[in-house]
Structure 1
Amino acid sequence: MPSMHRKRNKSLGLLELIAIALGGMIGGGIFSVLGISVSMVGVFTPIAFVLGGLLALLAAYSYVKLALYYRDEGATYSFYKKTFPKSRLVASIVGWWVTFGYISTLALYAYTFASYAISGFEFANSEIARKAVAGLIIFIFTLINVWSVKGMGKIEDLMVYTKLIILVIISFVLINNSNTTIPKILHNHEDINILSIVIVASLTFVAYEGFQLVINAVKEMENPRKNIPRAIYSSIFITTLVYAIISIGAILAIPFENIIQNQEYALASGAGEVLGNIGAELVIIGALLATSSAISGTLFGSSRLISVIANDGYFPKFLTKRKNNIPVYSIITMAILTFCLILSGNLVVILEFGSVTFLLVSLLMAYTNFKIRKHTHSSLIVTLLSAIGLMSGTVAILYFEAITKVEQVYYIGGLYIILTIFAFIFSYKRN
């Protein structure tokens, strides 16, 4: 038994862990939210991405400290449950909310994959075609994750590091083909205020949530004490740098109206006009790799979380079953629910639900870390800064939705109510 345990722990090294985190972040980031960001803050999009990265670093601080203290693959859910063992209802709510936060990010990645995959065809704007392709890619990576942990890790490595090379190439090619300058664009966007930039940084927070997936792999990684902080902090830094560079290249080379008009596949559409067919195809390949790795990494991490929650009785028991240590039923259930969300929503709604959810649960983790900061050896100042930043981000999104898209507030609120009802039912049964 001990030898089997050691062997299993060696499945994922530092490169695989960084790949899982980068896969969960970059896939849902620049390709999914560039058009939305440019439509709101224009030339200040790179600044919004950098602010989002700083917010992610603040959130990651508490996650890292709690992960090193508890060493539990249940991550967000388990950290709260173990810190507040008597708060069963809240633990159940956290489990349901964070699980559907991951489902929303999976839907975001699959939707974006489909948008880029069909962007060169006449039916590029067909919602039916887009949702069908999204369902297909979810199905493919469900099979891969059910197949093998080691196989998933190696495929993730290949996709993530290939897409990083492609993204760097795209960035510098776009910058070299710029048709304007930053000062000139700034002159045309003087009316953008700081609040708008903060709102966009908050809306794009979901593009950074992938760092949490590292913690879900704690039972299958080498040297957690060293590799958890290394993987999480380095992946957030790399992601922020990539977002900033690509967004600078995009706003310098691609007309804003083009980015805004084709929000779902902004980079491919713009690169086609600036760089020709080869440039557009390179962007599409990068987008498909990025979103594919995001889907794979998120399925891997979140399925382990579901298995832990189900084992505590807050999800149906069949979700605890594993084959070769792989939570097969959790993976399949995630895939089915993701496709249901794809059928019911659109890119913006999915993005906002995911960002609000992860801001809220990250805020809860900051509070959790604050409560046991002496045990986790955490800085009081950094922990409080994290809580203030995450609270500000949550308020910024809710304010934006309330004054611009109140119907989406109802949709998102309705989802939270449904999830809370199920959380109550399962916590009541457990009692």
Structure 2
Amino acid sequence: MIFHKRPSRSSHRSRGKTLGVPELVAIALGGMVGGGIFTILGISVAMVGVFTPVVILVGGLIASLAAYSYIKLGVYYKDEGATYSFFKRTFPGSPFAASLIGWWIIFGYISTLALYAYTFSSYAISRFAFSDSEMVRKLVAGAVIAVFTLINVWSVKGMGKIEDLMVYTKLVILAIISFVLINNSQTTLSVLLEQQGEVSMISVLIVASLTFVAYEGFQLVINAVNEMDEPERNIPRAIYSAIFIAILIYFVISLGAILAIPFDEIIANEEYALAAGTNNVLGHWGTDLVVLGAMLATSSAISGTVFGASRQMAVIAADGFFPAALATRKNRIPVYAILSMAALAFALILAGSLQMILEFASVTFLLVSLLMAYANFRIRAQTQSSLLVTVIAFLGLLVGTVLIFSYEYRNQPEQLVFIVTLYAILSVGSWFFSRKQHRRHSS
């Protein structure tokens, strides 16, 4: 096995570093605490009821297992291409495999971008008479993508400061919502446990796998490696801190929700479970608070995803696996990659079937995280990784991937067909560019 030369540390301590740990944590939380908590609650309660907070913890454990390999590879390679670059540099003799994982991860981010924008729009217009208009919802979603596209094109530092403000403000609001829900509990855990039907461990693991997308986003920290100081220290600090905060937020909110909101209301209003529940408990101001929290959460998720994923897209394009124009940068900002991601996300929104897009995102990030665990296993000596932790991470992600595919096959075969079809299209695109790049090098 031939490994690419590890870049020197001095290359990452150059001029103009603008993102510190608070900004990096904000980017990760912006990607994680987005539409996730506002969409997974209803699904979890419908499937496992009172064990929803347990699902949140298990999902956080799966995310932590995935993060271990990302952190080790990120510190070793210090490459803003992250997922794609790690795989390409660990397996330099497989250009098609590198191209394929690049296409997978970018379109995974595009699907989450579409989900966040759609969720933002759903909450933003929920108090208006036209809230049921699908076209208005999609146009508002496109508008919010456009706003944060312009912000990301404008300035790295400006994006970082705005991201700080949005993320930490939404954390305060979500903390208030959690406190209010728990303080207005309508029942107790013991009563809910008595009423709960039988729930198997397999069901808990399946739901944790289905909701894995709620923790997607910590990888975005690595995409900012060229804008940070001391990546050896700041990458692990930012990622582990962000995952811990996300687990805490999700756990407390889910606990407060099942104690304060009747299960039938949560299930009947899956997309607006928190808003509907707080309206009954606290009245309109509670609903307004949840709507504000949802809009801030999804806004920061859009901004953080556009920031990190566009840089990864530019790296892939520079290697010839996307159109060359996407690699162009102006003042270190990949303008055309940002614009392309925004346009593709809006196209997905217009196409509809966002539930299937959500499933695609969950499957994609589980698969990609599994491949990262395998890559880290292959070079564990270079990354100084624990063999035991690396193997546990690989097996945990493998189980999650198998469970989500088996669930889709048994319960939602039409979504599985959509996912497989989309993977086939991405595979053809990645194959075309890998062959084109191979012919260029051969001539």
Match of 1:20 in 2: 27
Q: Aligned ranges for residues 121-136 of structure 1 at < 5 Å?
A: 121-136=128-143
The answer as to whether partners of 2:38 and 2:272 remain within 8 angstroms in 1 is yes
CA distance in 2 between partners of 1:140 and 1:6 (Å): 30
Match of 1:256 in 2: 263
2:185 alignment partner, one of 159, 178, 181? 178
1:45 to partner: Cα distance:
1.0
Q: Aligned ranges for residues 66-81 of structure 1 at < 5 Å?
A: 66-81=73-88
**Cα shift readout 1:229-272 (whole Å, capped 9, x = no counterpart):** 00000100100010000001111111222212221222111111
Match of 2:334 in 1: 327
**Cα shift readout 1:128-174 (whole Å, capped 9, x = no counterpart):** 22212111111111011011000000000000000001111100100
Match of 1:235 in 2: 242
Match of 2:441 in 1: none
Match of 1:297 in 2: 304
Task: Determine if the alignment matches structure 1 residue 6 to structure 2 residue 14.
Answer: yes
Task: Determine if the alignment matches structure 1 residue 197 to structure 2 residue 204.
Answer: yes
CA distance in 2 between partners of 1:76 and 1:231 (Å): 17
Change (3 A) 1:389 1:345: farther
Match of 1:358 in 2: 365
1:125 to partner: Cα distance:
3.3
1:66 to partner: Cα distance:
0.4
Match of 2:344 in 1: 337
Match of 1:65 in 2: 72
Match of 1:267 in 2: 274
Root mean square deviation, CA, Å: 1.4
The answer as to whether partners of 1:198 and 1:393 remain within 8 angstroms in 2 is yes
CA distance in 2 between partners of 1:274 and 1:115 (Å): 21
SS of residue paired to 1:167: helix
2:119 alignment partner, one of 90, 112, 124? 112
2:330 alignment partner AA: K
1:188 to partner: Cα distance:
2.1
Match of 2:146 in 1: 139
**Cα shift readout 1:4-41 (whole Å, capped 9, x = no counterpart):** 97332x21000000000001001132113212222221
The answer as to whether partners of 2:12 and 2:226 remain within 8 angstroms in 1 is no
SS of residue paired to 1:210: coil
1:123 to partner: Cα distance:
3.2
Change (3 A) 1:422 1:172: same
Kindly report structure 1 stretches of 4+ aligned residues shifted beyond 4 Å: 2-5
CA distance in 2 between partners of 1:383 and 1:294 (Å): 29
Q: Aligned ranges for residues 349-388 of structure 1 at < 5 Å?
A: 349-388=356-395
CA distance in 2 between partners of 1:168 and 1:4 (Å): 36
1:346 to partner: Cα distance:
3.2
Task: Determine if the alignment matches structure 1 residue 311 to structure 2 residue 315.
Answer: no
SS of residue paired to 1:266: helix
CA distance in 1 between partners of 2:432 and 2:272 (Å): 41
Identity %: 65
Task: Determine if the alignment matches structure 1 residue 418 to structure 2 residue 425.
Answer: yes
The answer as to whether partners of 1:38 and 1:256 remain within 8 angstroms in 2 is yes
Task: Determine if the alignment matches structure 1 residue 46 to structure 2 residue 68.
Answer: no
1:305 to partner: Cα distance:
0.2
**Cα shift readout 1:198-235 (whole Å, capped 9, x = no counterpart):** 11111111111110000000000121111000000010
CA distance in 1 between partners of 2:418 and 2:108 (Å): 14
1:119 to partner: Cα distance:
1.6
Match of 1:408 in 2: 415
1:99 to partner: Cα distance:
0.4
Match of 2:108 in 1: 101
The answer as to whether partners of 1:14 and 1:222 remain within 8 angstroms in 2 is no
Task: Tell which deviates more after alignment, 290-299 or 127-136.
Answer: 127-136
Say how many residue pairs are matched.
429
CA distance in 2 between partners of 1:73 and 1:146 (Å): 17
Task: Tell which deviates more after alignment, 193-202 or 75-84.
Answer: 193-202
CA distance in 1 between partners of 2:359 and 2:195 (Å): 28
The answer as to whether partners of 1:214 and 1:228 remain within 8 angstroms in 2 is yes
SS of residue paired to 1:6: coil
Structure 1: where are the runs of 5+ without partners? none
Q: Aligned ranges for residues 149-228 of structure 1 at < 5 Å?
A: 149-228=156-235
1:26 alignment partner AA: V
The answer as to whether partners of 1:145 and 1:296 remain within 8 angstroms in 2 is yes
**Cα shift readout 1:293-330 (whole Å, capped 9, x = no counterpart):** 00000000000000000000000000011111100000
CA distance in 1 between partners of 2:258 and 2:130 (Å): 27
2:369 alignment partner AA: S
Change (3 A) 1:277 1:88: same
Structure 2: where are the runs of 5+ without partners? 1-9, 439-443
Task: Tell which deviates more after alignment, 207-216 or 269-278.
Answer: 269-278
Change (3 A) 1:220 1:126: same
CA distance in 2 between partners of 1:328 and 1:62 (Å): 29
1:6 alignment partner AA: S
